[in-house]
């Protein structure tokens, strides 16, 4: 007997897959009104100017981390691992928001199957209108344009899922055997404060994630900071670089930085954390600076994704 399949769409931001795609990637990013909230009439011309202006600077970041973002390859590995755990009843595809494979490419791949329903699973554990919300909005536009009539289930967040929290705790212990000696600095992508003030739950969910992780490390000192600010409006603080300086002034000599809102590597981890902030820490005299890798295809994280799918099937 042939059964209809359940389609799984893993949603992620995406990144340039070569130095030549840095500028078009940035253009797609700044064209998104869910992130850059300016009048739509001028959005694309402004996005063009910003992407041209920033491309030269950002291109240098990617040159230092290998000439491209590794996020696509890592996301496909996550998709493959999840597919193996779920089995033939499901079909897992990847949809990136700002570079290939785009949402329409992912949906066209999925539509080769006879589908019972589609589940949208963001690779953003904490919900924000600028990440998960934007990916959902893009999916809805493509779904409508293709005139589809397949039931859709959206998973909004899993910032407090037991397996997600446990996966991060395990990652810390595996990569930092003497973790008791370190101060933990959790670093999350920042957001403009005005977005939080409109009701975006990202900050509260991020804080809850950190609090739950720290239940595994009750004796460690820790703090939460934010990175990757762009522009001149007020963003969530403290910024990660400022927090590193503050912790050093308070006598911290061993610092472990833990990316908490990312589940794969990209410029924010490989350039900002591993190059910029490591250099800062060394320059101000922090003797031991460690960075915990993102979850990627860790066993517990894939189990978490499987559990989310099974519970929403």
Q: What is the dihedral of CA 63, 292, 187, 8, to 10 degrees?
A: 80
Q: Are 193 and 235 in contact (CB under 8 A)?
A: yes
Within the chain, what is the greatest distance between any pair of CA atoms?
67
Mean pLDDT of 111-118: 96
162-291 topology per CATH: Rossmann fold (3.40.50)
CB contact at 8 A, 92 and 79: yes
Q: Judge whether residue 86 has pLDDT over 60.
A: yes
Q: How far apart are CA 139 and CA 62, in angstroms?
A: 28
The Cα angle at residue 272 between residues 253 and 43, in degrees rounded to 5: 145
pLDDT at position 1 over 60: no
Average pLDDT over residues 81-89: 97
Q: In the chain, which segments carry CATH 3.40.50.1400?
A: 162-291
pLDDT value at position 2? 61
Element (H, E) at 302: helix 299-311
Statement: the pTM of the whole predicted model exceeds 0.85: yes
Q: Is the pLDDT of residue 203 over 70?
A: yes
pLDDT of residue 107: 98
């Amino acid at each position: 007997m042939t059964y209809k399949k359940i389609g799984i769409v893993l949603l992620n931001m995406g990144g340039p897959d070569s130095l030549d795609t840095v500028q078009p990637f940035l253009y797609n990013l700044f064209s998104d009104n869910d992130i850059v909230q300016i009048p739509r009439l001028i959005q694309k011309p402004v996005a063009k100017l910003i992407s041209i202006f920033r491309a030269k600077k950002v291109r240098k970041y990617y040159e230092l981390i290998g000439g491209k973002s590794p996020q696509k390859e890592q996301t496909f590995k996550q998709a493959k691992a999840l597919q193996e755990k779920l089995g033939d009843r499901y079909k897992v595809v990847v949809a990136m928001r700002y570079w290939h494979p785009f949402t329409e490419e992912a949906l066209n791949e999925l539509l080769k199957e006879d589908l019972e329903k589609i589940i949208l699973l963001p690779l953003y554990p904490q919900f924000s209108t600028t990440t998960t919300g934007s990916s959902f909005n893009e999916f809805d536009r493509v779904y409508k344009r293709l005139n589809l009539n397949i039931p859709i289930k959206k998973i909004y967040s899993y910032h407090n899922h037991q397996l997600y929290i446990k996966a991060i705790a395990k990652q810390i212990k595996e990569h930092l055997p003497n973790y008791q000696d370190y101060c933990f600095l959790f670093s999350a992508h920042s957001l403009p404060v005005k977005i939080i003030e409109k009701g975006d739950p990202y900050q509260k969910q991020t804080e809850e994630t950190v609090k739950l992780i720290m239940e595994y490390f009750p004796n460690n000192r820790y703090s939460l900071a934010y990175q990757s600010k762009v522009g001149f409006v007020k963003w969530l603080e403290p910024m990660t670089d400022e927090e590193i300086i503050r912790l050093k002034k308070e006598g911290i000599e061993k610092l472990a930085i833990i990316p908490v809102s990312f589940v794969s590597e990209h410029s924010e981890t490989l350039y900002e954390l591993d190059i910029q902030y490591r250099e800062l820490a060394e320059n101000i005299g922090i003797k031991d600076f460690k960075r915990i890798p993102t979850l990627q295809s860790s066993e517990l994280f894939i189990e978490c994704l499987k559990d989310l799918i099974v519970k929403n099937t």
